[in-house]
Amino acid sequence: MNRVLIPALLAAPAIPRDGRLQVLQGEAMGTSWSVRCIGGDAARLRAGILARLETVVAQMSPWEAESDLSRFNRAPAGTWHRLPAEFLAVLDCALAVAQESDGAFDPSIGTLVDLWGFGPGPGPGGSPPGAAECQALRQGVGWRKLRLDLAAGRAFQPGGIGLDLSGIAKGYAVDLVAEFLAAAGIPAFLVEIGGELRGRGAKPDGTPWWVALETPPGEAAPGAEPFLVALHELSVATSGDYRRFFRHGGRRYSHTLDPRTGAPVAAETAAVTVLHPSCMRADALATALTVLGPQSGLAHAVRHGIAALFLTREGPGLREHMSPAFAAMLD
């Protein structure tokens, strides 16, 4: 039996009476994407979806040398730079989560991400970098050094800051596609990009968009049944140490870095899943809670009313830790 999660709804989801289910899919942002929707012209929808994904890549990809992010990272110290509205919206949300989490989420760690081999740079070649080099780069990291002037549409490069938005941009892309579909008059859809999802409405038969929550491959909590969540006006994002990592000396080094130490997070936390109306915020929160760990992270989720599920490695299997907001959705 599955365990079912039902969000509290202010209004029942719209049930489309006409239109057929369409499935659009492809690759972008270094991962796969898919959209399931009811109605609409497939060619027009695909073009609109690709345009939104290309916008995120052109603005926020560290792998594109001429992206807005890459140009900002190369900018001289003490300079202001005009940035697109989408980029600023993501950076503004990133800094808000950084402040709320006391730096557990930090968009300024791009140089450290490269150092550990998880960015476009050459990295350490499958082995941990030296402690001295890591410590030296940490001196240039710090979300508090970043300044935004939203009214003027610009951001300040204090010098040496390397932005990395990989912990939030994918969630924003999901939101951007979802907002396009809604504006195009699509009453019901499910958007997925690299495992992050957002849903709206219901299928013509009245059933919701059921989504199984992600778990680490080959690992499970003893006796635990899978979670299924009904995605209406809700997003789901998961941060897990099994997505990107390398092994060295018998230890797993995850792509999720703790900005406070400059090193990958401990292997105790296998995954954190967050449910939130905004996929961008869910994405950033999942990363922040992973860095905070099960004790501090769960306390943070309780204080801020975040619906979160922690999976930790304890003994032969995984152990679940639910925040009250998450547990409240169990039907």
* pLDDT given for residue 127 in this prediction: 76
Q: Are 227 and 309 in contact (CB under 8 A)?
A: yes
Q: Are 200 and 278 in contact (CB under 8 A)?
A: no
Residue 314: Cβ within 10 Å count: 12
* pLDDT given for residue 8 in this prediction: 84
Structure tokens at 293: 């760990």
Average pLDDT, the chain: 91
Identify the top-confidence range among 9-13, 134-138, 173-177: 173-177
Confidence of residue 311 (pLDDT cuts 50, 70, 90): very high
Q: Measure Cα distances from 46 to 76, 236, 251 in Å.
A: 39, 23, 42
Residue 112: Cβ within 10 Å count: 26
Confidence of residue 302 (pLDDT cuts 50, 70, 90): very high
* pLDDT given for residue 124 in this prediction: 59
Structure tokens at 285: 């929160």
Q: Is the dihedral of CA 8, 172, 229, 325 positive or negative?
A: negative
Distance CA 330, CA 76 (A): 51
pLDDT at 139 over 90: no
Q: Are 201 and 41 in contact (CB under 8 A)?
A: no
Q: Which of 7-11, 38-42, 83-87 has the lowest mean pLDDT?
A: 7-11
Q: Are 241 and 215 in contact (CB under 8 A)?
A: no
Residue 242: Cβ within 10 Å count: 15
pLDDT at 44 over 80: yes
HEC profile of the chain: CCEEECCCCCCCCCCCCCCCEEEEEEEECCEEEEEEEECCCHHHHHHHHHHHHHHHHHHHCCCCCCCHHHHHHHCCCCEEEECCHHHHHHHHHHHHHHHHCCCCCCCCEHHHHHHCCCCCCCCCCCCCCCHHHHHHHHCCCCHHHCEEECCCCEEEECCCCECCCCCCHHHHHHHHHHHHHHHCCCCCEEEEECCEEEEECCCCCCCCCEEECCCCCCCCCCCCCCEEEECCCEEEEEEECCCCEEEECCEEEECCEECCCCEECCCCEEEEEEEECCHHHHHHHHHHHHHHHHHHHHHHHHHHCCEEEEEEEECCEEEEEECHHHHCCEC
In CATH, the architecture of 73-157 is Orthogonal Bundle (1.10)
Alpha-carbon Rg for the chain, nearest whole angstrom, is 20
Distance CA 170, CA 329 (A): 25
Structure tokens at 157: 């490069």
Quick: pLDDT tens for 270-295: 899 999 999 999 999 999 999 999 99
Q: For the sheet containing 196-200, what is the strand order?
A: 21-28, 31-38, 189-193, 196-200, 234-240, 269-276, 307-314, 317-322
Quick: pLDDT tens for 177-218: 999 999 999 999 999 999 999 999 988 888 899 999 988 876
Place of tokens 């995954």: 271
* Residue predicted with more confidence, 78 or 16: 78
* pLDDT given for residue 265 in this prediction: 86
* pLDDT given for residue 198 in this prediction: 98
- Residue 245's contacts (CB-CB under 8 Å, 6 or more residues apart) are 252, 253, 254, 255, 264
Distance CA 178, CA 21 (A): 16
Distance CA 19, CA 271 (A): 37
